[in-house]
Amino acid sequence: MLLAEGEGAVKKKRRPKRGEDFRFTEALIKADFWLLFFVYFVGVGSGVTVLNNLAQIGIAQGVHDTTILLSLFSFCNFVGRLGGGIVSEHFVRSKTIPRTIWMTCTQVIMIITYLLFASAIDGILYAATALLGICYGVQFSIMIPTVSELFGLKHFGLFYNFMSLGNPLGAFLFSGLLAGYVYDNEAAKQQVPNLLSSSSISCLGPNCFRLTFLVLAGACGLGSILSIILTMRIRPVYEMLYAGGSFRLPQTSNH
């Protein structure tokens, strides 16, 4: 067999390297795949939790017209997607800086944002919502090209849709289970003196979401650490792909 391989009669199949086309089963055993998935899951999962509960968050902090908050988040989400794509594209071509460094930066900002939400300081709600919307949008704009650069375009649709599971999964865990439980528990405490009130339970005050925001901040702290690890691991890939400031297909790289 060794002689046949040496003479070219038999070609030994090799696994793809980062930057080449992966099959889905080949990517599943790669640490980079799961690091990217978890970092994205934390970023969009925590962000969509706030989005899903933004009306209740506003009411709990004394805002009567929550439509402005929702519009502000949506607009800043667009700004984050557009700006994240522009900034990452510039630095990846000029400095070969991996795109995931911007996921790290935005998740650090998200930690600060969640702490601002938890503090319930007067007048900070709109600024925190705008910051979170931008960071939420950046997560999307970075994840999509990163998947294609690490695992190729041949099965990009499958990879992208699997990564997109981070959004509903985060909504289920952080919003449906965590935020819903904390909110209902605090609302029940406020309803104890008035058991004969209407069946619709609402919660007022910073305690309605404070624990939720602290947990989200901790999750983004872990996501930031994993994002740094991922960035360090894939730095050689970007140096290979964007040598000379432009994208090129990997040919003889050992990465």
The CATH number given to whatever domain includes residue 71 is: 1.20.1250.20
| pLDDT tops 50 at residue 14 | yes
Return the percentage of the chain with pLDDT > 70, whole number.
Answer: 86
Could you tell me which of 88, 87, 134, 86 has the C-alpha nearest to residue 110? Answer: 134
Tokens of 226: 């994993």
* Mean pLDDT of the region 207-223: 95
Domain assignment of residue 17, yes or no? no
* Mean pLDDT of the region 1-12: 54
Looking at the structure of the chain, the number of domains it has is: 1
pLDDT digits (tens, 9 = 90+) for 92-149: 999 999 999 999 999 999 999 999 999 988 889 999 999 999 999 999 999 999 999 9
Domain assignment of residue 254, yes or no? no
* C-alpha–C-alpha distance, residues 234 and 146, integer Å: 10
Can you give the pLDDT at residue 192?
A: 60
pLDDT digits (tens, 9 = 90+) for 170-183: 999 999 899 999 99
Can you give the pLDDT at residue 247?
A: 61
Lowest-confidence range among 3-17, 104-118, 125-139, 222-236?
A: 3-17
| Residue numbers of the domain that contains 236 | 31-154+165-188+201-245
* Mean pLDDT of the region 25-40: 94
| pLDDT tops 90 at residue 193 | no
Can you give the pLDDT at residue 252?
A: 47
Model pTM? 0.85
pLDDT band at 1 (very low <50, low <70, confident <90, very high): low
Domain assignment of residue 253, yes or no? no
Domain assignment of residue 223, yes or no? yes
* Mean pLDDT of the region 144-173: 93
Tokens of 87: 């900034």
| pLDDT tops 60 at residue 200 | no
Domain assignment of residue 220, yes or no? yes
Domain assignment of residue 8, yes or no? no
Domain assignment of residue 129, yes or no? yes
**Cβ pair 203, 62 in contact under 8 A:** no
pLDDT band at 3 (very low <50, low <70, confident <90, very high): low
Could you tell me which of 202, 159, 157, 200 has the C-alpha nearest to residue 183? Answer: 202
| Helix pair angle (31-52, 125-151), 10° resolution | 150
Domain assignment of residue 214, yes or no? yes
pLDDT digits (tens, 9 = 90+) for 60-85: 988 888 899 999 999 999 999 999 99
